[in-house]
């Protein structure tokens, strides 16, 4: 007897959760024990078993991290090209674990595409920042990274868009092409004027032509990055909700059917148009990434509009999509 935990579904789930908390979130064994309601001895045995069974090596891996049955069900139901469902081992409210799991899944999936001498267009936000942090050096080679939507904030909030694009480019041994304009401007004329500026038009052209695109799916809530960035106030948020908007894709708000919710606002939004995201328009792969059940409405809307052909989600969001 080694003293390690025997393999069964219940202990496996505890084992993976303990590993995420200890190795990913850098909690102490005592903190892990408190969070899971276990003794420190039990936590120590779980972590030892994870190492012994090679579930934990440099990265945390486990058969439950990719749930094939749900992936196939989602592909069939929504007509998607590919789906990745990551097991976060999270309980309700553990958004940090959900985000970590989806970010790693997104980074692994992008790496699996083996992009060489090509271009990828990217959105920005909390999820995409986490994906960029999870990328290994060499995930791609000689890749041009184009920013899909503007990100200069109207407040002190740091969008991190430049950091995200540069990290993707540096670790992909390529170049970042930043769209250094606001996400939303006051007047349509301002948008048109900015788009004629050579450095802006060059990035927009590259983002429209990139064979691969990846972005997160945004909720229409007060904690949205578009609200934090100062682009939307409470009145604007309420008007969008009243119009039937369920969330945004690259700063463009859509309803449950995937149609634009506010065409006037859309005309003031800097970045590529939603229609250019569709794989039918020449993209080889268009990837939407999201975590948590709250993202179910915008995920459904993105699929209804045909804006993505690949979906990367955690198990809680996958279950919510299949239940709807």
Q: 26 with 160, same domain? A: no
Q: 86 with 54, same domain? A: no
Task: Give the confidence band of 65 by pLDDT, cuts at 50, 70, 90.
Answer: low
CB of 304 within 8 A of CB of 256?
Answer: yes
Q: What is the CATH number of the domain that holds 18?
A: 1.10.10.60
Q: 1 with 101, same domain? A: no
CB of 84 within 8 A of CB of 109?
Answer: yes
Q: 138 with 245, same domain? A: yes
Give the Cα separation of 142 and 170 in Å (integer): 10
Task: Give the confidence band of 1 by pLDDT, cuts at 50, 70, 90.
Answer: very low
- Looking at residue 261, its pLDDT comes to 93
DSSP string, 71-88: HHHHHHHHT-SEEEEE--
Q: 38 with 143, same domain? A: no
Q: Which domain holds residue 149?
A: 66-323
For 42-46, 51-55, 135-139, 318-322, which range has the lowest pLDDT when averaged over its residues?
51-55
Q: Quick one: tokens of 50?
A: 């994870």
List pLDDT tens digits, range 198-234. 999 999 999 999 999 999 999 888 777 788 777 788 8
Mean per-residue pLDDT, 250-254: 94
Total domains, the chain: 2
Q: Which residues contact 151 (CB under 8 A, 6 or more apart)?
A: 124, 159, 161, 162, 179, 182, 183, 229
Q: What is the CATH number of the domain that holds 195?
A: 3.40.50.1360
List pLDDT tens digits, range 274-314. 999 986 567 999 999 999 999 999 999 999 999 999 999 99
- Looking at residue 7, its pLDDT comes to 53
């Amino acid at each position: 007897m080694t003293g390690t935990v025997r393999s069964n579904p219940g202990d496996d789930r505890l084992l993976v959760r303990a590993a995420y908390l200890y190795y990913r979130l850098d909690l102490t064994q005592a903190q892990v024990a408190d969070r899971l309601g276990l003794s420190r001895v039990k936590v120590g045995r779980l972590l030892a078993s994870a190492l012994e069974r090679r579930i934990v090596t440099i990265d945390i891996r486990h058969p439950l991290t990719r749930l094939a049955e749900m992936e196939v069900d989602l592909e069939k139901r929504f007509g998607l090209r590919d789906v990745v469902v990551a097991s976060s081992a999270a309980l309700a409210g553990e958004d940090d674990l959900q985000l970590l799991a989806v970010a790693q899944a997104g980074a692994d999936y992008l790496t699996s595409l083996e992009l060489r001498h090509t271009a990828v267009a990217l959105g920005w936000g909390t999820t995409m920042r986490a994906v960029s942090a999870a990328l290994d050096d060499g995930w791609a080679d000689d890749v041009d990274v184009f920013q899909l939507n503007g990100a200069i904030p109207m407040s002190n909030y740091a969008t991190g868009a430049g950091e995200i694009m540069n990290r993707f480019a540096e670790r992909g041994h390529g170049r970042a092409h930043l769209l250094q304009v606001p996400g939303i401007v006051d007047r349509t004329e301002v948008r048109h004027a900015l788009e004629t500026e050579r450095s802006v038009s060059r990035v927009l052209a590259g983002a429209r032509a990139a064979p691969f695109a990846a972005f997160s799916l945004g909720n229409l809530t007060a904690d949205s990055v578009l609200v934090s960035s100062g682009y939307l106030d409470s009145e604007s948020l309420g008007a969008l909700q009243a119009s039937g908007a369920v969330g945004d894709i690259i700063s463009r708000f859509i309803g449950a059917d995937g149609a634009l919710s506010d065409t006037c606002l859309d005309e003031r939004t800097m970045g590529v148009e939603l229609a250019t995201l569709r794989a039918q328009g020449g993209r080889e792969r268009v990837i939407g990434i999201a975590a948590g059940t709250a993202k179910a409405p915008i995920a459904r809307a993105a699929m209804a509009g045909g804006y993505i052909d690949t979906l990367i989600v955690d198990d809680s969001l996958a279950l919510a999509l299949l239940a709807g």
